[in-house]
Amino acid sequence: MKARSTYESLPKVYGVNLGGWLVTEPWITPSLFETVEKRSGQLPVDEYNICTILQIKAKSFLNYHWDTFYTESDLVKIAGLGLNSIRIPVGYWSFGLLPDDPYIHGQEKYLDLAIEWAERYNMKVQIGLHGLPGSQNGFDNSGFRTDKPQWLENKENMNLAYKVVDYILNKYGNMPIIHSIQVVNEPMGWILNRTKLLDLYRFAITPFEEKHLKAKLVLHDAFYCMEF
């Protein structure tokens, strides 16, 4: 009998992405953005704009969204469909802010709650860091839509990115329920500094080697075939 490889013996991942929740995206929750337009007369293009337009009112607006968009009952339905994992996108602003950021804190509590739900229904979790300071791709899914992503362009952005990645890996990396952690979602390789991007990837790899973290590390190829 042919021996099964390590990969063949691993359970298959059947999962779903909990998008539009802790990082808001216009194409997933258009009504959320249209509501802001009705209230203010301005249509936001990303979460940065939502917070800029609503200012102090953004906290109650987003808290209501976080409370209601996904709940434990959704995890019951997901598990009932035979899925065994969920992916949860989060932005850096869930864990730290730049001095002039308009973003609202509070997402971390809901991330932790979703992890509790997943464990209750025997599901695994992938945490995906969708937004980096200054944006890593200019897409609205980074929290800040722009033609000129500035993630690796200044020391302040980079320092906060390293701090957030370190925090996520240390807090979640050894939780048995965490399947994997993606440290940067869809970095736009052809306009980013390749060396600086690889430096961050190497930084993320280090605690997995030194602390033997249980979670898997997911590194996006930056739309290239990137090798170390």
Asked which of 18-22, 44-48, 129-133, 209-213 is least confident by mean pLDDT, the reply is 209-213
**Residue type for position 72:** E
Q: What share of the chain is helix, strand, coil (3-state, %, to 5)?
A: 45, 10, 45
* Sheet with strand 124-131: strands edge to edge: 15-17, 85-91, 124-131, 178-182, 216-218
In terms of pLDDT, which residue wins out, 13 or 166? 166
**Rounded to an integer, what distance in angstroms lies between the CA atom of residue 141 and that of residue 91?**
9
The contacts of residue 178 (CB under 8 Å, 6+ apart) are: 115, 124, 125, 126, 127, 172, 214, 215
The contacts of residue 194 (CB under 8 Å, 6+ apart) are: 222, 226
pTM over 0.85: yes
As given in the structure block, the two tokens for residue 193 are 């500094």
Which fold does the domain 6-24+71-218 belong to in CATH?
A: TIM Barrel (3.20.20)
Q: What are phi and psi of 162, to 5 degrees?
A: -60, -40
Asked which of 5-14, 30-39, 154-163, 183-192 is least confident by mean pLDDT, the reply is 5-14
- Under the banding of pLDDT at 50, 70 and 90, the label for residue 226 is low
Asked if the model's pLDDT at residue 139 lies above 50, the reply is yes
Residue closest to 182 by CA, chosen among 210, 209, 216: 216
Asked if the model's pLDDT at residue 153 lies above 50, the reply is yes
Asked if the model's pLDDT at residue 6 lies above 80, the reply is no
| Strands (DSSP E) found in the chain | 15-17, 85-91, 124-131, 178-182, 216-218
Share of the chain above pLDDT 90, in %: 88
**Rounded to an integer, what distance in angstroms lies between the CA atom of residue 131 and that of residue 118?**
23
Question: Can you list the pairs that 19-22 forms with residues at least 24 positions away whose Cβ atoms lie under 8 Å?
Answer: 19/89, 20/69, 21/65, 21/66, 21/69, 21/70, 21/88, 21/89, 21/110, 22/66, 22/88, 22/89, 22/90, 22/91, 22/94, 22/107, 22/110, 22/111
In terms of pLDDT, which residue wins out, 125 or 4? 125
pLDDT tens per residue across span 29-82: 999 999 999 999 999 999 999 999 999 999 999 999 999 999 999 999 999 999
